[in-house]
Amino acid sequence: MRKPGAAFAFYLLSIVLLPVSLPGYVIWVGKLLAAKPSGVSTSAQAPLSARWAMHNFGVRDDQAANRLLPILPGVPWLAMRSAFWPTVFAHRVTGFVPKTFRYPFEGEIRPHAEASARVTFFDSAVDHFLPGVDQLVILGAGFDTRPYRLPQDKPVYSFEIDAPKTQSVKRDMLDKAGIDARKVTFVPADFEQDDWLAKLVDAGFDPGRPALFLWEGVTMYLDREAIEDTLRKVAGCAKGSLLAFDYFTTEALESSRPYWRYGRAAAKAVGEPIKFGVDSTPPSRERLSELLRSGGLALLEQHGLGRESRKKRAWGGFAIAMVE
């Protein structure tokens, strides 16, 4: 089926099946907002859901994500299945993949697609830089599945750092799903309270050898002190180490637009308020570079999100910093 026809058929099927997907979505989100704080990161579900969808759309293989999402504790899987199934069914009938879940992601990145688009960015960072180092550190790992996608014979030491409760739940999930995690070292730490680098070194990390640090979907939930402390710690590692991360700007924290007001309110409701944004004063690339330099890092690559002009400001971005 040609693309225009496939797209039409896909969205027609999705509309027809809306009575199935909408109640599931409402129940799923409603339970998230009503749930009591458990210590497990709610924001970590979005990237896992995006990777699960990509796997089921057949555009990015991720067996670990496919096996982990259904067993997330406290999440109504039947409701999630009801919300997702019509979209996956429509894809399998028509072959069409919605732009949000295409891989690699191309074109303008709107706020609602950030969690999906950054999958391409972080995968590219791993593909490009990991061959040159043998240590992979995932800061605020959540339910990241990248270490479990690496070839078994790849000589890489993988470390995951995350809040103790979230990490404990993830390890239980990995065991339940039968996913081999023997090549991953888990380091429980709170970025706002603990010396995560000291704990990382105690767990076997060698700060004298270059490493690739991934910091996905984390910076916006930390206070500025924790951000600056993390940058300094990475900068204290071996020359050639790299830090790939995504970020919001102060535009996302201050905008009165409905999307951002809803996003901030939802994050606060689940106990993970948005705290940090890079100064959005144009050019935002220079503001980001200044922040990194203050922490001892050099900006190697940056992709701004949102069009900058005299009246508009970027709302976020993807970036790679380097230890020189």
DSSP 8-state assignment for residue 37: P
Lowest mean pLDDT among 43-52, 196-205, 301-310: 43-52
Non-local CB neighbours of 252 within 8 Å, separated by 6+ positions = 111, 220, 260, 263, 274, 277, 315, 316
What confidence score (pLDDT) does residue 124 get?
A: 97
Looking at 104-249, list the stretches that DSSP marks H as alpha helix, in order from N- to C-terminal side: 114-129, 164-177, 196-202, 224-235
- In the block, tokens 């500025």 appear at 224
pLDDT of residue 36: 61
The pLDDT of residue 145 is above 90: yes
Distance CA 26, CA 22 (A): 6
Q: Which pTM value belongs to this model?
A: 0.93
1 has a pLDDT exceeding 50: no
Task: Summarize pLDDT for 247-264 with one digit per residue, the tens.
Answer: 999 999 999 999 999 999
Q: Are strands 157-162 and 184-188 parallel, antiparallel or unpaired?
A: parallel
For residue 60 the two structure tokens come to: 């990015």
> For residues 290 and 302, what is the distance between their CA atoms, to the nearest angstrom?
13
Domains, the chain, with CATH or none: 3-101 (no CATH), 111-322 (3.40.50.150)
Give the integer Cα–Cα distance in Å for 319 and 286. Answer: 12
pLDDT digits (tens, 9 = 90+) for 57-81: 999 999 999 999 989 887 788 888 8
State which H helix or E strand residue 84 sits in: helix 77-94
Quote the CA–CA distance of 191 and 245 in Å, as a whole number: 15
What pLDDT band is residue 38 in, cutting at 50, 70 and 90? low
